[in-house]
Amino acid sequence: MEKRRRSTSSSSSSSSSKKHDGEGDVHSHHILHRPTSPLLCVIVFAALIRYLVSLHPYSGAADPPMYGDYEAQRHWMEITLNLPAKDWYRNTTSNDLTYWGLDYPPLTAYQSYVHAQFLKFFDPESVALVTSRGHESPLGKFLMRLTVLSSDLVIFFPAALWFVLAYYGGRSRVRREELLWHLSLVLLNPGLILIDHGHFQYNCISLGLTVAAVAAIFVEKDLVGSFLFCLALNHKQMSAYYAPAFFSHLLGKCFKHQNPILKVTKLGLVVLGTFLLIWWPYVYPLKGAMEVLRRLAPFERGIYEDYVANFWCATSILIKWKRLYSMQLLKLLSFSMTLLSILPSIIQQIRSPSRQGFLFAMLNSSLSFYLFSFQVHEKSILLPLLPASLLALDEPLMFQWFMNYALFSMFPLLRRDQLLIPYVALYMLFALLYYCPFRKQDSSGNGSVNGWKASAMTLFLLCSLLLHLIYLTFKPPEKYPFLFEAMIMLLCFSQFVFLAIYSNMKQWKLPSRFGWIDKKKVL
Amino acid sequence: MEPQIKEEEQEEERPNPQKLLWMFTLATIMKLLLIPSYHSTDFEVHRHWLALTSSLPLHQWYSDSTSQWTLDYPPFFAYFERLLALFAPFIDPQIAHLHNGLNYAAPTALLFQRLTVIASDLCLLYACFRLRTRPGVGLDSWRADLIWVLLVFSPGLLIVDHVHFQYNGFLIGWLLVSVSAVEEGRDLVGGFVFAVLLCFKHLFAVAAPVYFVYLLRHYCWRRSGGGVVEGFGRLLKMGFVVGVVFGVAFGPFLYYGQVLAIINELFEPFWGLCHAYWAPNFWVFYIILDKVLAVLLTKLGFTIPASSASFTGGLVGESSSFAVLPKITPLVTFLLVLCAMSPCLIKIWREPRPRLITRWVAYAYTCGFLFGWHVHEKASLHFVIPLAIVATESLADARHYFLLSIVSCYSLFPLLFEAKEYPIKVLLLLLYSLLMWSGFTQQLRKLQTSTSSAKKGDKGRSRKGTGGTKVEGGGTLIGWVGMSYLLGLLVVEIWGQFLQPYLLGDRWIIKCP
């Protein structure tokens, strides 16, 4: 972006003014003073893009009787506003759990409650008990969109900023423009924007809390970090995809500590305390907590849904998992496969915890969950996408590669939501940001590949482009109505598997000595 | 940061069109995302013109009255609509259907028409691209980048074209091409393009006196060399070129005897001194003065004919008469505009310098805006956008442009009155202000370093040095007067949008369709 260019020239002009330092000390504070306006430009632009996406339809717009995620979130606001906390997760006369019953942890419920207050102030009809079911109005949409935007601005934006500052805090020689570039890649993550501000969800909260937790751990505030991560876990249970990484990294750090047992105890107490605080209304009697827990793990929905690009769905073309095996066996199978695939990255982090390794571990564990765990949704690709975006400056090519297929894997979903225009626009935006002409790229070639790898990647990208077009223009044959979805799924699955192998290898190849990576990064 | 000294030296390269393309695509992304936003009746106007030009024979274009939105742009725009209508059936044939299409605003129609605006903005892109070779100043890479940022991300254009719905980017693109051609000394091309522009939209004729005097003095009757005969030859050449343009535009209609109908249509909408929404110009003060005087005189015991005048009624219609002050006729406004323009015209007559043509044209449009008859608030784009080109030339220009563009964009705010668009206009303006701020402070630092390394006299240098420092703190790019003016805007906005409804009404009402 142009802002980045300015930041370089600003630093360069300040350094050149250093040359003329003899002329007086008017220049001297230029060196200390760094303009914040390029940074603000990125932030305002990211907010603007989010708002523009939110003008487009949401999931299940004008599609009775169940509508979509928008209605689910609105319904939760209605429930939390009008019923006592004890009844939120319970089937009662006014809370029909079969109609979008609350199935996220209590922090989501509290968030819904706060947002419901906001909606009630301007448009009480949209959150009235029972009568507001399927409520759709331009005003309601505007207000709901504002709740997501404000959550994003309040949680994800500061978290991303903190992360960038924390991650590069130790590396004084990473250029400021690179820092801005990374920040804009994290903030303008098309997948996240499309799902939150287009499709309608609040991933920005749980992912933002996760990013903040990572940042806290990077500045050696492990207790704050684990507190924040517990909040993330309690906002969306899907955040558990990162849990192995957090666990192993913190454990590894504890072992390096002079008094490991004390440190582990402290962390454990923080985790316990946070959970207790959030689950307070359900702790006594314990039956309440069990009710909530049962809502959080909807095993009855089957091992996969729709055409998600994971192992179970991809192999179901050959092996009909759902028909051949019992739910119990599948649960066990998926659990053990997930655990098995995460094991290497856990071990690596326990043995030699490092910043970059931690991010790789987050990527690997969430990707493993996505590929092998029970009941995965297309949107869950956002979870592995986040650590990949946090690694964007270390592994730009991997991030770009991942983003292409992550977006593509959500394409059928977004197309159903009538979000084709934002999809195309944000895809373009990502490509633009990635190939920013204002960014002076290092010739060290972190982002370039050649030979057969490059041609293979181009080939796959061409396949993806072709499939996009086919999906948009052709009708599938009568016999296989989901043929194109299956093809998209298979292509994305293959790429995700490559990616998982690649990033696991990368993590293991990381130098094992603590702190050495940061020095290497200086280049 | 030491290694970057070298890079800075390398950076003094030629403007990189790749960067322009990058920025333009970025803006296009915003435009694409704006597709579902609010659109005004202009959307239906342009849709009807698509239908009108594609379904009726040429000689009925200006006399058809199927819809109240009769064609009131000059012929080139009609041809342009005819061209666009060729593509409409590929998306949805109903868009360009004369009768079935009336008030048709299905998503397909919206998509198609928004895409035509986005595509026609390529004209603006071309104009920006031409600026890379601006003689004298266009050779700096960073300066070109800054001009491009200012042009491509102009919030006024985004609001008026891509939300409200018009084709200003396209038209102003032609204007910029013409201006830059004149600047390069290619007067014939400049005159030709300006004539084409006039045949697209006659409102641009406000700058015609400037063009006329300039071309007469610089092209036809040059100071250095060239006799009367040669001058007359050039005059004939220019006249021929302009004549051909107008001939192509109006010729077919002349053949069918439709020219009177065209003229009638082109000037028919200009009832009334002020447009539905007041443009922030001189006449606002005139009206206010009239009201104040009327009230005062009534209190003093005079009998004032009670005027039913309600200028804020928001209706386009016959102007109501004033209670006290003399009635304003179009002729008065015309003379006032010419009067206001005359110093500039005299200067052009004396010394027609190509470098200054952009300023002169912008000045002419400013005069038209301030004193003209029935001025649209959107007309402020006609002078703000060209000024972006000269904004990088000096600190004074930067300062001027900074304030002017913010105020001009703010004056467009009432165009988008729904709550849904509120964050869009605020964020767009905020983003642009930040871009300008960071760009101009950057530029000042550049100028400052270059002047101090050039070592041109100690006094001037030290003054510039302090000036640059102040910019960082917020002093020089905008003085305290300007700053308090902008803060005043903020206060007005907060009061009008939030406090007044809250204090005077019982609840905030959010306007939604």
What's the pLDDT tens digit per position in A357-368? 999 999 999 999
Half-sphere exposure of A375 (CA within 13 A, CB side): 12
pLDDT at A98 (0 to 100) = 87
Q: Does residue B1 fall inside a structural domain?
A: no
Closest residue in B to A40 (Cα–Cα): B434
Percent of the residues in chain A that have a pLDDT greater than 70, as a whole number: 88
C-beta of residue B272 within 8 angstroms of C-beta of residue B318: yes
Longest dimension (CA), chain A: 83
Domain boundary among B268, B297, B327: B327
Amino acid at B352: P
Q: How confident is the model at residue A515 (pLDDT cuts 50, 70, 90)?
A: very low
Q: Which of B290-304, B314-328, B375-389 has the lowest mean pLDDT?
A: B314-328
Q: Are residues B367 and B503 in the same domain?
A: no
Residue B138: C-alpha distances to residues A60, A329, B14 (Å): 51, 71, 9
Interchain contact, B434 vs A5, CB within 8 Å? no
pLDDT at B321 (0 to 100) = 64
Q: Are residues B120 and B225 in the same domain?
A: yes
Q: Which of A374, A389, A300 is nearest to A339 (CA)?
A: A374
Q: Which of B477, B355, B427, B315 is nearest to B37 (CA)?
A: B427
Mutate to test the interface with A, among B4, B118, B437, B443 (most CBs of A within 10 A): B4
Q: Are residues B354 and B418 in the same domain?
A: yes
Interchain contact, A440 vs B35, CB within 8 Å? no
What are the structure tokens assigned to A148, written together? Answer: 């997501």
What are the structure tokens assigned to A267, written together? Answer: 């962390």
Distance of CA B121 to the CA centre of its chain: 14
Q: Does residue B384 fall inside a structural domain?
A: yes
Given a cut of 90, is residue B480 above it in pLDDT? no
From chain A, the residues in CB contact with B431 under 8 A are 41, 44-45, 48
Domain boundary among B327, B348, B380: B327
Amino acid at A357: G
Q: How confident is the model at residue B507 (pLDDT cuts 50, 70, 90)?
A: low
pLDDT at A21 (0 to 100) = 36
Average pLDDT over residues A31-40: 66
Tell me the pLDDT of chain B averaged across its residues. Answer: 83
pLDDT at B242 (0 to 100) = 94
Q: Does residue B220 fall inside a structural domain?
A: yes
d(CA B88, CA B77): 17
Q: Which of A153-157, A182-186, A317-321, A409-413 has the lowest mean pLDDT?
A: A317-321
Please name the residue ranges forming H helices in B215-317: 228-255, 259-267, 282-299
pLDDT digits (tens, 9 = 90+) for A178-224: 889 999 999 999 999 999 999 999 999 999 999 999 999 999 999 99
Q: How confident is the model at residue B370 (pLDDT cuts 50, 70, 90)?
A: very high
pLDDT at A224 (0 to 100) = 96
pLDDT at B64 (0 to 100) = 86
Q: Structural domain of residue B323, as residue ranges?
A: 282-327
b/e A304-335 (16+ beta carbons within 10 angstroms → b)? beebbbbbbbbebeeeebeeeeeeeebbebbe
Tell me the shortest Cα–Cα distance from B295 to chain A, in angstroms.
40
b/e A362-395 (16+ beta carbons within 10 angstroms → b)? bbbbbbbbbbbbbbbbbbbbbbbbbbbbbbbbbb
Q: Does residue B8 fall inside a structural domain?
A: no
Tell me the shortest Cα–Cα distance from B68 to chain A, in angstroms.
29
Beta carbons within 8 Å of B29's beta carbon, 6+ residues apart: A49, A425, A426, A428, A429, A432
From chain A, the residues in CB contact with B452 under 8 A are 17, 20, 23
Interchain contact, A2 vs B442, CB within 8 Å? no
| Complex ipTM more than 0.85, yes or no | yes
d(CA A113, CA A85): 10
Burial class (CB in 10 A: 0-12, 13-18, 19+), A143: buried
d(CA B10, CA A219): 37
Q: Are residues B294 and B443 in the same domain?
A: no
Higher pLDDT, A250 or B283: A250
pLDDT at B402 (0 to 100) = 93
pLDDT at B363 (0 to 100) = 94
pLDDT digits (tens, 9 = 90+) for B425-465: 999 999 999 999 998 888 887 777 766 665 444 443 333 33
Q: Are residues B238 and B309 in the same domain?
A: no
Average pLDDT over residues B466-481: 54
Q: How confident is the model at residue B509 (pLDDT cuts 50, 70, 90)?
A: low
pLDDT at B241 (0 to 100) = 94
Helices A483-509, A396-416: inter-axial angle, 10-degree rounding? 160
DSSP A71-96: HHHHHHHHHHHHS-GGGTTS-BTTB-
Average pLDDT over residues B374-397: 89
Q: Are residues B442 and B364 in the same domain?
A: yes
d(CA B365, CA B383): 6
Q: Are residues B372 and B494 in the same domain?
A: no
Q: Are residues B94 and B227 in the same domain?
A: yes
From chain A, the residues in CB contact with B446 under 8 A are 9, 13
Q: Are residues B308 and B339 in the same domain?
A: no
Q: Does residue B346 fall inside a structural domain?
A: yes
pLDDT at A494 (0 to 100) = 94
Given a cut of 90, is residue B159 above it in pLDDT? yes
Range B285-294 contact pairs with CB under 8 angstroms and sequence separation of 24 or more? B286/B325, B286/B328, B287/B311, B287/B322, B289/B325, B290/B322, B290/B323, B290/B324, B290/B325, B291/B323, B293/B323, B293/B324, B293/B325, B294/B323, B294/B324
pLDDT at B136 (0 to 100) = 57
Q: What does the angle CA B348 – CA B353 – CA B359 come to, to the nearest 5 degrees?
A: 75
* SS3 of chain B: helix, strand, coil, percent, to 5: 70, 0, 25
Q: Does residue B370 fall inside a structural domain?
A: yes
Average pLDDT over residues B376-388: 92
Looking at the structure of chain B, the number of domains it has is 3
Query: Could you tell me how many helices (H) and strands (E) chain A has, helices first?
Result: 25, 0
Q: How confident is the model at residue A10 (pLDDT cuts 50, 70, 90)?
A: very low
Q: Which of B200, B133, B129, B209 is nearest to B170 (CA)?
A: B200
Q: How confident is the model at residue A343 (pLDDT cuts 50, 70, 90)?
A: very high
Q: Are residues B184 and B292 in the same domain?
A: no
Q: How confident is the model at residue B392 (pLDDT cuts 50, 70, 90)?
A: confident
What are the structure tokens assigned to B300, written together? Answer: 């003093």
d(CA B113, CA B50): 10
Closest residue in B to A17 (Cα–Cα): B449
Q: Are residues B302 and B321 in the same domain?
A: yes
pLDDT digits (tens, 9 = 90+) for A285-319: 788 888 888 888 877 777 887 788 999 989 988 88
C-beta of residue B356 within 8 angstroms of C-beta of residue B100: no
Please name the residue ranges forming H helices in B416-457: 422-454
pLDDT digits (tens, 9 = 90+) for B235-274: 999 999 999 999 999 999 999 988 888 888 888 766 677 7
Closest residue in A to B427 (Cα–Cα): A48
Half-sphere exposure of A453 (CA within 13 A, CB side): 9
Q: Which of B2, B435, B442 sits opposite A15 (nearest CB)?
A: B2
Given a cut of 90, is residue A82 above it in pLDDT? yes
Q: Does residue B466 fall inside a structural domain?
A: no
Neighbours of A291 (CB within 10 A): 16
Please name the residue ranges forming H helices in A417-522: 420-434, 452-473, 483-509, 516-521
pLDDT at A384 (0 to 100) = 96
Q: Does residue B464 fall inside a structural domain?
A: no
Containing A369, the helix (H) or strand (E) segment is helix A355-372
Neighbours of B373 (CB within 10 A): 21
From chain B, the residues in CB contact with A428 under 8 A are 25, 28-29
Given a cut of 90, is residue A113 above it in pLDDT? yes
Interchain contact, B19 vs A438, CB within 8 Å? yes
C-beta of residue A175 within 8 angstroms of C-beta of residue B1: no
Q: Are residues B82 and B204 in the same domain?
A: yes
Closest residue in A to B454 (Cα–Cα): A20
Please name the residue ranges forming H helices in B201-227: 208-214
Q: Which of A472-476, B35-39, B64-68, B484-488 has the lowest mean pLDDT?
A: B64-68
